[in-house]
Amino acid sequence: MAKAKYQAVADEIRKRILSKIYPTKTLIPDQNTLAKEFGVSRMTVKKALDGIAREGLIYKQSGLGTYVLGDISIKTANDSPADAFNGLTEQQGAERVTSDVIDFSVAFATKDLQAKLDIGANDPVYNILRLRRLEGEPFILEHTFMPVKLVPDLTLSILKSSIYDYIHHELKLKFGGAYRKIHASLPTELDIAHLNATATEPILEVEQIVWLTTGQNIEYSTSRNLFNKRSYTVLDINNI
């Protein structure tokens, strides 16, 4: 299937911005000019620019034009976006990530999990505790709960590689969204045992609910790492 026109236009404009054909802090051509150049209607150009503006690359001002914004000074290549659905294996590369499965069991949902996953008391839930390693080094301690009915036939070998890969490519399920809470916290016994945390070392934790496009909750999880191993980043574009 061919790409939508507005996507193709957006890709080209993005490329021109990144390659400085449209230099930083200058105006790019107006929407009518771009529409003529690409042979599309102005609405299509506008839709392309809307997307690029949401990414923080440009700023449009009515009556004035469309600016190219500069690079973000504190952004680095290693940043971990707090709004990303790809799992660790996709983010870091499958060859760099390995997983120790510390616990893999099934039980009926507790009251707490019934509320968090929006399921009944008789729904079985996977309880998965994994230590994710980066280049062999302990990196993230991930505690995941998933309803069995949404993710059938989970196996140890899937847990050793990538659950998300299984969900997307085998089960053909699509994530609709996620809600995440980022905490700092004290180390637990598990952090000390598996992340090699000292008794007082700060831990950064992401607690999240993930749901499918159908609205069903597929995951409740916590991901914990040593304070100096990872931060999370958020790009926030103002749209008032």
Partner DNA sequence: TAGTGGTCTAGACCACTGT
Partner DNA sequence: CAGTGGTCTAGACCACTAG
123-162 residues in contact with its own copies (CB under 8 A) are: none
- Smallest distance, Å, CB 145 to DNA? 27
Site residues for DNA per CB under 7 A: 1, 4-7, 28, 30-33, 39-44, 46-47, 49, 60-66
- Is residue 46 near its own copies by the rule CB under 8 A? no
Q: Which is nearer to its own copies, 14 or 98 (CB)?
A: 14
The token duo for 163 is: 């659950």
Closest residue by Cα to residue 42 from 3, 5, 1: 5
SS3 assignment, position 110: coil
Q: Which is nearer to DNA, 63 or 152 (CB)?
A: 63
DSSP 4: P
- Is residue 175 near its own copies by the rule CB under 8 A? yes
Tokens 């923080």 -> residue:
56
The token duo for 124 is: 């079985």
- Is residue 7 near its own copies by the rule CB under 8 A? no
Residue 5 touches which of its own copies, DNA, none (Cβ within 5-8 Å per kind): DNA
Q: What are the phi and psi torsion angles at 181 (to 5°)?
A: -120, 130
Residue 178 touches which of DNA, its own copies, none (Cβ within 5-8 Å per kind): its own copies
- Is residue 29 near its own copies by the rule CB under 8 A? no
Q: What is the largest CA-CA distance in the chain?
A: 64
- Is residue 73 near its own copies by the rule CB under 8 A? yes
- Is residue 63 near its own copies by the rule CB under 8 A? no
Please check whether residue 180 is in contact with residue 82, taking contact to mean a CB–CB distance below 8 angstroms. yes
Q: Which H or E element spans position 106?
A: strand 97-108
